[in-house]
Amino acid sequence: MRELIRAAFVIGRRDFAATVFSKAFLLFLLGPLFPVLMGVLFGAIGGRVAAAAEQPMVAVVADTRDYEALTGARERLAEAFAGAPLVRLRRIQPEPDAERQRAALLAPGGPAVLGVLDGGLGRPRYTGSIQPGADTAAQLRLIIEEARRSQASDAQRGAPLELSIAARSTGAMASHRALTAQAGQMILFLLTILLAGMLLSQLIEEKSSKVIEVLAAAVPIDSIFLGKLMAMLLMSLIGIVVWTGAGAAAIGLWSDRGVGGIAPPAVGWPAFLALCFLYFAMSYLLLGSVFLAIGAQASTVREVQTLSMPVTMAQVVIFALAATAIGSPDSPAALAAAAFPLSSPYVMIARAAELPQLWPHATALAWQLAWVLLILRIGAGLFRRSVLNSGPRRSFWKRRGA
Amino acid sequence: MQRDLPAVEATALVKDFGETRAVDGISLVVPTGAIYGVLGPNGAGKTTTLRMLLGIIDPSSGSRRLLGRERPIEAAHEVGYLPEERGLYPAMTAREAIAFMGALRGLPIADGRRRADGLLAAHGLGDWARKPIRTLSKGMAQTVQLLGTLVHKPRLIVLDEPFSGLDAINQARLEALIRGEAAAGATILFSTHVIAHAERLCERIAIIAGGRLAFEGLVDEARSRLRPVVRLRTRASDGPWRAAIPPAARLDAGEYVFALPEGGPEPLLKALIDGGAGIETLAIERPGLHDAFVAIAGEAAAAAMGQGQAS
């Protein structure tokens, strides 16, 4: 066992150094940041476009009192329906000839307004066009009614709504936590699918440069597999630290509520983040060991490329299986997906978001680790038997020795 | 391991690749401290035998012991192996490649780097220590791999066709290196299809042909399987002395060439002198390993070896 780990360390150290101290690794680190960068760029452009295409303006020909009542009403409605596009208002000082003023405002060359609202709050009248997709008339109607209500006496308005704010309701919390679970699962899946696929081609270098015979003669095949897996996991974690840092910075910069907008997971943030790390490691090791075992059978890059499609599809199926667990972590389907080793990390991270117990995670991690070792063992055995030993096809290993 | 235990023992090793039997019941014993050669033409099963001995592949049947261990991988720290198909990571520097090969066999990486510097300098590659393998010539890369095979000071050195791809000067250097390692106490097991190397270096050999062991033992034993060869040139073309020449003798450029008769040289000489042959030249030669190989493995195998040498 000690020799197995020592040899795995030697293999892993070589692989890690060869990968991390290469120019390609810089590209590996920067690659996933490109979409973020593009998002920022397009966001800025979109923001400018949105600013240019702001909500239409309605000219309000009214005295100051009525106009203030209207703008106050508009602000209250905008607050109540956050994000809903509301018409903007612009006050125009009333002139003696209202009809002529209205015509002048709507004439070409006049101010860029959608229509004219005149007649004050007593006899409001709107003349102009209606913005497609947003019912300008309905909005104006609501604003006017709210403005009138604000001018009415307290007795006419009736008692205001009495608010008694409680902690989040169970229903709301469950729904928010389901979102956290989904987000956790999605991140775990994306990172695994992005990173574990690299393990398919991990033994190609050794085969093509014929180093594999030097390795196979010196150390157990299990060590080669374990070392490669660990080196790639470490490399992936470096990438994740960089990307997470960049992502957190981006969220902090561009989101009003930052990461605080996500509902806290049931186990709490510190435990959830620790479990995210552990379950990523496990999902990487589990899928990685399967990929390594499959990829080890391939002799050429072409074979690896051919293998990558069915392998990716299999991952998607596993993810779909895991997604059934969200919202009902104790259902038979969820428990079955938690027991199936390849979907287990995804299911368990969702569970951590939804249920507070920690002991199932200890059990799941032990279960997943056992499977990692088992798959590695099977993969190494398969490699020894099918690639090193016999068969008519496999390049120099399988040909009859001189 | 005790000195009297053999470094390598193989008993009835068989290896099947699908329907093909690559190795068929090979048994051999490599004494500790010996230089042991495995001879045979290309495709005879030498590499497969070495791979089985080292535990890279498992035999279909039979058993092997390497430095006293049933599982060869357990002896890996004390073994150095140069495969026939040389392989190094192209992006690694020469120094790192040697240190890495040592680390695989249990040598701490820092010691490996230090030893690598010394070894490279001693073999005239000091200036290349920090250059990537891909920038080295084939011969240089081969030397680097050989140094990586020896860096951890193994007790057993297994070299698969170590001379192939080397020029005459480097072949001579490698022979000297093998002798040096053996003198320092290491056991050397190497395969070759070039009889001359085995003849110069080995005390014991195994001759493999068609996956089977044709001979295993001392080089002298192999040679002694053949009678000494007589080369005779006479002034007289005919006479009663002709009765002393065996019927199987052949005439080669005016010389009779034949195996020394069982009775030895004296009766032959007497018959030649008494019969008035008029001996012009007479040579009694000990047969070479090549002749022994032909006698043991057959003309076809010898011809295959010849082709291997030519290529």
pLDDT by residue, tens only, chain B of 311 residues: 445 689 999 999 999 887 888 898 899 999 999 999 998 888 888 899 999 999 988 898 999 999 999 999 999 999 999 998 888 999 899 999 999 999 999 999 999 999 999 999 998 888 999 999 999 988 889 899 999 999 999 999 999 989 888 888 888 888 899 999 999 999 999 998 888 888 888 888 888 888 888 888 888 777 777 778 888 898 888 888 888 888 888 888 888 888 888 888 888 888 888 888 888 898 888 777 777 777 777 666 666 665 544 43
Residue with tokens 């199936």: A340
Q: Which of A160, A176, A159, A180 is closest to A168 using CA atoms?
A: A176
Residue A29 identity: L
- The minimum CA-CA distance between B262 and chain A, rounded to whole Å, is 39
Q: Taking CB atoms and an 8 Å cutoff, what residues of chain A touch B83?
A: 210, 213-214, 217
Q: Which of B54, B90, B161 is the closest to A217 by Cβ?
A: B54
Q: With 70 as the cut, is the pLDDT of residue A346 above it? A: yes
Q: Taking CB atoms and an 8 Å cutoff, what residues of chain A touch B22?
A: 400-401
Q: Does A209 reach chain B within 8 Å, measured CB to CB? A: yes
- The minimum CA-CA distance between B164 and chain A, rounded to whole Å, is 13
Q: What percent of chain A has pLDDT over 90?
A: 9
Domain count along chain A: 2
Identify the pLDDT of residue B109: 94
Q: Taking CB atoms and an 8 Å cutoff, what residues of chain B touch A219?
A: 73, 76, 104
Half-sphere exposure of A7 (CA within 13 A, CB side): 24
CA distances from B250 to B232, B237, B254 (A): 11, 14, 10
Say which residues have a Cβ less than 8 Å from residue A270's Cβ, sequence separation at least 6: none
Q: With 70 as the cut, is the pLDDT of residue A261 above it? A: no
Identify the pLDDT of residue A392: 39
Expressed in angstroms, the distance from the first to the final Cα of chain A is 34
Q: Which of A10, A388, A400 is the closest to B56 by Cβ?
A: A388
The verdict on a CB contact (< 8 Å) between A402 and B105 is no
* Average pLDDT for A297-303: 79
Expressed in angstroms, the distance from the first to the final Cα of chain B is 40
The verdict on a CB contact (< 8 Å) between B45 and A218 is no
A84 — pLDDT class (breaks 50, 70, 90): confident
Going by their DSSP bridges, the two strands B187-192 and B156-160 should be labelled as parallel
**DSSP letter at B274?**
H
Q: How many residues does chain B have?
A: 311
User: Given phi > 0 = left and psi -120 to 50 = alpha, else beta, which region is B133?
Assistant: alpha
Condensed to tens digits (0 to 9), the pLDDT of residues A36-79 reads: 677 767 766 665 665 555 677 888 988 888 899 899 988 888 88
Residues A222 and A263 in one domain: yes
A395 — pLDDT class (breaks 50, 70, 90): very low
Residue with tokens 């235990």: B5
Say which residues have a Cβ less than 8 Å from residue B270's Cβ, sequence separation at least 6: none
Angle CA(B286)–CA(B291)–CA(B292) in degrees, nearest 5?
A: 85
Whole-prediction pTM: 0.73
> What's the CATH architecture for B8-223?
3-Layer(aba) Sandwich (3.40)
Interface test with A, best of B73, B81, B145, B147 (most A CBs within 10 A): B73
The verdict on a CB contact (< 8 Å) between B103 and A18 is no
Q: Is the separation of the CB atoms in A117 and A125 below 8 Å?
A: yes
Most confident of A183-197, A376-390, B167-181: B167-181
Residue B264 identity: G
Q: Which two structure tokens, joined as six digits, stand for B213? A: 């062991």
Q: Is residue A251 part of a domain?
A: yes
Q: Is residue A2 part of a domain?
A: no
The chain B residue lying nearest A400, using CA atoms, is B22
Look at residue B227 and give its three-state secondary structure.
Answer: coil
What CA–CA distance (Å, rounded) separates A258 from A250? Answer: 9
- The minimum CA-CA distance between A48 and chain B, rounded to whole Å, is 49
Identify the pLDDT of residue B1: 46
Is the pLDDT higher at A172 or at B41?
B41
Q: Which of A13, A219, A390 is the closest to B18 by Cβ?
A: A390
Residues A249 and A219 in one domain: yes
Identify the pLDDT of residue A255: 61
Q: With 50 as the cut, is the pLDDT of residue A390 above it? A: no
Half-sphere exposure of B72 (CA within 13 A, CB side): 26
Residues A191 and A324 in one domain: yes
Q: Which two structure tokens, joined as six digits, stand for A208? A: 């093509």
Residues A180 and A77 in one domain: no
Q: What is the CA radius of gyration of chain B?
A: 24
The verdict on a CB contact (< 8 Å) between A391 and B17 is yes
Residue with tokens 């080196």: A231
- The minimum CA-CA distance between A369 and chain B, rounded to whole Å, is 26
Identify the pLDDT of residue B133: 92
Residues A213 and A87 in one domain: no
Condensed to tens digits (0 to 9), the pLDDT of residues A146-165 reads: 888 888 776 677 777 776 66
* Average pLDDT for A381-392: 66
Residues A139 and A208 in one domain: no
The chain A residue lying nearest B82, using CA atoms, is A214
Q: Which two structure tokens, joined as six digits, stand for A221? A: 């095949």
Residues A139 and A180 in one domain: no
Q: Taking CB atoms and an 8 Å cutoff, what residues of chain B touch A215?
A: 104
Q: Which of A341, A339, A337 is closest to A324 using CA atoms?
A: A337
What CA–CA distance (Å, rounded) separates A174 from B208? Answer: 75
* Average pLDDT for A178-200: 81
Q: What is the DSSP string of A267-308?
A: T-HHHHHHHHHHHHHHHHHHHHHHHHHHHHT--SHHHHHHHH
Residues A129 and A203 in one domain: no
Residues A210 and A326 in one domain: yes
What CATH number did the domain enclosing A96 receive? 3.40.190
Q: Is residue A17 part of a domain?
A: no
Q: Which domain holds residue A133?
A: 53-157
Q: Which of B16, B58, B76 is the closest to A218 by Cβ?
A: B76
Q: Which of A213, A388, A391 is the closest to B87 by Cβ?
A: A213
What ipTM was predicted for this assembly?
0.80
Strand order in the sheet with A57-61: A88-92, A57-61, A115-118, A125-128
Q: Is the separation of the CB atoms in A371 and A281 below 8 Å?
A: no
Q: Which two structure tokens, joined as six digits, stand for A28? A: 């590996």
What is the residue extent of each domain of chain B?
8-223, 227-285
A121 — pLDDT class (breaks 50, 70, 90): confident
What CA–CA distance (Å, rounded) separates A229 from A136? Answer: 61
Is the pLDDT higher at A44 or at A199?
A199
Is the pLDDT higher at B47 or at A263?
B47
**B189 CB burial (10 A radius; 0-12, 13-18, 19+):** buried
Strands (E), B167-211: 187-192, 204-209
* Average pLDDT for A374-392: 74
Most confident of A3-17, A33-47, A270-284: A3-17
Q: Which two structure tokens, joined as six digits, stand for A280? A: 């990523």
Q: With 50 as the cut, is the pLDDT of residue A303 above it? A: yes
Angle between helices B299-310 and B289-297 (to 10 degrees): 130
Q: Does A156 reach chain B within 8 Å, measured CB to CB? A: no
Identify the pLDDT of residue A12: 94
Identify the pLDDT of residue A399: 44
What CA–CA distance (Å, rounded) separates A108 from B58? Answer: 93
- The minimum CA-CA distance between A293 and chain B, rounded to whole Å, is 18
The verdict on a CB contact (< 8 Å) between B81 and A217 is yes
Taking all residues of chain A, what is their mean pLDDT, rounded to a whole number?
A: 80
Q: What is the DSSP string of A19-59?
A: HHTSHHHHHHHHTTHHHHHHHHHHHHHHHHHHHHTPPPEEE
Condensed to tens digits (0 to 9), the pLDDT of residues A355-378 reads: 888 898 999 999 999 999 999 888
Interface test with A, best of B42, B74, B104 (most A CBs within 10 A): B104
Interface test with B, best of A1, A11, A211 (most B CBs within 10 A): A211
Q: Taking CB atoms and an 8 Å cutoff, what residues of chain B touch A391?
A: 17-18
Q: Phi, psi (5° rounding) for residue B192? A: -160, 155
* Average pLDDT for A81-92: 81
Half-sphere exposure of B69 (CA within 13 A, CB side): 15
Residue A222: other Cβ atoms inside 10 A: 19
Going by their DSSP bridges, the two strands A115-118 and A125-128 should be labelled as antiparallel
What CA–CA distance (Å, rounded) separates B194 from B289? Answer: 11
Weakest-pLDDT range from A219-228, A239-248, B90-99, B298-307? B298-307
Q: Does A6 reach chain B within 8 Å, measured CB to CB? A: yes
What CA–CA distance (Å, rounded) separates B58 from A353? Answer: 49
Residues A243 and A280 in one domain: yes
Q: With 50 as the cut, is the pLDDT of residue A398 above it? A: no
Interface test with B, best of A213, A382, A393 (most B CBs within 10 A): A213
Q: Which two structure tokens, joined as six digits, stand for A359? A: 């002991």
Most confident of A176-185, A296-305, A311-320, B97-106: B97-106
Q: Which two structure tokens, joined as six digits, stand for B153? A: 């000071």
Identify the pLDDT of residue B306: 57
Q: Is residue A27 part of a domain?
A: no
Q: Does A377 reach chain B within 8 Å, measured CB to CB? A: no
Residues of B with CB under 8 A from a CB of A: 16-18, 20, 22-23, 42-51, 54-58, 73, 76, 79, 81, 83-92, 100-101, 103-106, 109, 145, 161, 193
Is the pLDDT higher at A31 or at B60?
B60
Is the pLDDT higher at B311 or at A141?
A141
Identify the pLDDT of residue B49: 92
